[in-house]
Structure 1
Amino acid sequence: MDQAAPTASVRRSRFWLYTPFVLLLLIAVAWSIAWFVIRNRTAEALDGWIAAEARNGRQWTCGDRSIAGYPFRIEIICESLDLKRGSVSASFGRTEAVAQIYQPRRVIVEVAGPLRVTDGTVTVDGSWSLLQASINASQTGLQRLSLAADSPKVSVTGLGNGEIAGSGRHLELHLRPNPSRRAELAGDVAASVTEARIPILDALVGGAEPTNLNADLTVTQADGFKGGTIVEELELWRNAGGKLDILMLSATKGARQIETKGELRLDEQHRPAGQLTVSAAGLDGLLGNLTGGRVGGNLLGMLLGQGPRSPQGQPNAKPQLASLPPLRLEKGFLSMGPFVIPNLRLQPLY
């Protein structure tokens, strides 16, 4: 009788000693079951989304699909990813999308190249060393898409004017629906490219220095991809009254610099039309090249190059920009103030 109480006390103390480990094991088992349930529901939701996209004419193919990420993430991996709608098709390399269990509407995507988009006439090929994107969504749809790529390269063929190619050190792109212009189906675009090399720009402006580009734009009637050819998509956009609001577009190429704001659209002949305000420095030879050395073009070219040069001994100093007369694109002509730029006609884009 004298030893019964100590034995009971020892048993109680051992029970509380092991209880945390037992609870931890039960939680791990429950979490594992929950993760596999979420995994199965993700697979079902993905199959349902692909089926819904197919009903809307967009056919997605995820090659060798797998779902992983235990214990706290859901990772969907496609060894290849293809999209087809109408005559337009796109293909990507290995694509991996990752979302945290506790934040399912924020998805991080990593895509391997190469990229090819074609409508049977125009073909876009792209490659990169690293491409990552983040997608933020809500119950009402996409809130923001951000993309970053290292060492991007792109080429466009089939436009009728030869190949257009370019490359850069780093690319960033941000897209979002414009919350204050929903009636116009407007979308905001912010993009930047560092150390871009664009041969067609080198030939036009002169110099082989890399170019830094920055753009802040709003596109109206940006209501999505309808599945036609690139020409058909542009024509639908034009007929809907779509326009491009340029909040800021800047390019720096060595000592040459230009900043532009304004509005562009496509006219009935599919030519660029609109009005731009321009500030520039160091582009004195540009219009001379465009106009074949005519006097009017050289005078306007001098105007483009006005403003003090970088101080001697400071080749990297930022040049001072000079404001230019408004630049108008109308009926295939390009005018600066009251002057029509000679020997220069705007060609239809398609």
Structure 2
Amino acid sequence: MSDTTVATGRRSRWGLFIAPVLLLILALAWTGFWFYAASQAEVAADAWRAQEAKSGRIYDCAKRSIAGFPFRFEVQCSGASVALVSQNASKTPFTAKLDNILVVAQVYDPKRVIAEFSAPATLTDGVTQSTFVVNWSKGRSSVFGLPAVPERASLVFDDPNINRLDGSVQVPLARAKQVELHGRLADGSPADHPVIETVLHVAQGSVQGVHPLLAEPFEADTRAKVTGLSDLTPKPWPQRFREIQAAGGHIEIVQSRIQQGEMIAVAAGTLGLSANGRLDGELQMTVTGLERVIPALGIEKMLEEGVPQATLDRVAPGVKSQDLNNLFGALDRAVPGLGKVIKQNANAGVAAGINSIGTESTLEGKKARSFPLKFVDGAVLLGPIKVGQIPPLY
């Protein structure tokens, strides 16, 4: 055998080892990269927590771990808790505790982060000391654009329900088939004056213990746009609202639709903030099935049983409950039965009042009524009638 043949055989045998050796080197390099990136993820998480804490949002985990090797990062947070220290006008802590949060990011797409939340969550209001229990079958969120300013984010809960704890008894407050909240930076939005577009969808929602109308299932879809922001860095909400008010910012309700049975209501308009931190603005509403809604308000029954002073303060400020009852008594004495007739026709009077301030319209092929819903320094006005009062946002 010639020397040339021996040399060729050696080179061919060495070629058999080149691919495995390169693969081993690549695997070791990838492993080193993954563990380094995982350690940096923990550093980034700690830095984010510290930044949030300065804004009054304190996040903590009883136990935290990172897994997902080799192609993704999975951050597991067991015994998660959130304390909102300065997020409301009263500056009283609001706390939430969750069983578990799983945050996932792909190595090849680190800008997109997905999180899953395990029920239940326990919420405690520091002002009233009330405790609420929130459950859901599936809860998840996604954020795109990290680690810089997020470009878009979503939050979705399936079968959510909220119960208030009354001792050891859970009292139902609200529930839905699904709740979705989506937000994104508007196209062309500048970094120093970002504009946020949001979409809220509620499927088969209901609220108990407030009014029988709200206890009936409803569908809601709202699209809104928020302006007046100076940046998207973490800040307490009262500070954020003050900045929006100072900049002349507003919330534009681009489109809102609520349906409950035969009743359909759509609204659009702009809401701003007064110097007192209360809502100012006007929504133009169009409603079908209003004749079905008014009897459900039970106004004549309320008058028959006596109007609570708290209700009068809301719908007719300055009018005393005793004065109203005395009026009906005087009417009955002057003309027997007159007070009762007025009470029984109260709904018709309210309907006539709304008809007088609105105009006939058509909505989705049905007869409807259009009218303005005004917000004046927190007071909610339907024509000249005050129907509610919204507390200040800061």
Matched, 1:111 2:117: yes
What residue is the counterpart of 2:173 in the other structure? 165
CA deviation profile, 1:124-161 (whole Å, cap 9, x unmatched)? 54221111111112564122111111111235799xxx
What residue is the counterpart of 2:134 in the other structure? 126
Cα separation, partners in 2 of 1:45 and 1:275, compared to 1, 3 Å: closer
User: Contact 2:77–2:100 (CA<8 Å) still a contact in 1?
Assistant: yes
CA deviation after TM superposition for structure 1 residue 61, in Å: 1.1
For 1:234 and 1:290, locate their aligned partners in 2 and report how far apart those are by CA, in whole Å: 40
Cα separation, partners in 2 of 1:239 and 1:34, compared to 1, 3 Å: closer
What residue is the counterpart of 1:314 in the other structure? none
Unpaired segments ≥5 residues, structure 2: 86-92, 301-345
User: Contact 2:242–2:277 (CA<8 Å) still a contact in 1?
Assistant: no
User: Contact 1:220–1:242 (CA<8 Å) still a contact in 2?
Assistant: yes
For 2:221 and 2:81, locate their aligned partners in 1 and report how far apart those are by CA, in whole Å: 30
For 1:139 and 1:65, locate their aligned partners in 2 and report how far apart those are by CA, in whole Å: 20
User: Contact 1:129–1:150 (CA<8 Å) still a contact in 2?
Assistant: yes
For residues 176-255 of structure 1, the aligned pairs below 5 Å read: 176-178=184-186, 180=189, 186-199=195-208, 203-204=212-213, 208=216, 210-221=217-228, 226-227=235-236, 236=242, 240=246, 243-255=250-262
Q: Quick one: which of 314, 326, 331 aligns to 2:372? A: 326
CA deviation profile, 1:242-301 (whole Å, cap 9, x unmatched)? 643211111112222111101234557876542111122123132452754344312356
**Residue identity matched to 2:368:** A
Aligned length: 327
Unpaired segments ≥5 residues, structure 1: 310-317
**Residue identity matched to 1:198:** V
User: Contact 1:255–1:282 (CA<8 Å) still a contact in 2?
Assistant: yes
Query: Aligned-pair RMSD on alpha carbons?
Result: 3.8
What TM-score does the superposition give when structure 1 sets the normalisation length?
0.77
For 2:82 and 2:380, locate their aligned partners in 1 and report how far apart those are by CA, in whole Å: 39
Structure 1 residue matching 2:151: 3-state secondary structure: strand
**Residue identity matched to 1:95:** I
Structure with the greater relative contact order (CA < 8 A, sep ≥ 6): 1 or 2? Answer: 2
What residue is the counterpart of 1:67 in the other structure? 66
Q: Quick one: which of 150, 155, 170 aligns to 2:158? A: 150
User: Contact 1:281–1:305 (CA<8 Å) still a contact in 2?
Assistant: no
CA deviation profile, 1:12-60 (whole Å, cap 9, x unmatched)? 3333233222221221122112211222222233233333444554432
CA deviation profile, 1:49-82 (whole Å, cap 9, x unmatched)? 3334445544321221101110011111111222
What residue is the counterpart of 2:43 in the other structure? 44
CA deviation after TM superposition for structure 1 residue 308, in Å: 8.6
For 1:60 and 1:153, locate their aligned partners in 2 and report how far apart those are by CA, in whole Å: 23
Percent identity, aligned pairs only, is: 27
User: Contact 2:201–2:220 (CA<8 Å) still a contact in 1?
Assistant: yes
Cα separation, partners in 2 of 1:243 and 1:165, compared to 1, 3 Å: farther
**Residue identity matched to 1:64:** K
Q: Quick one: which of 323, 336, 349 aligns to 1:296? A: 349
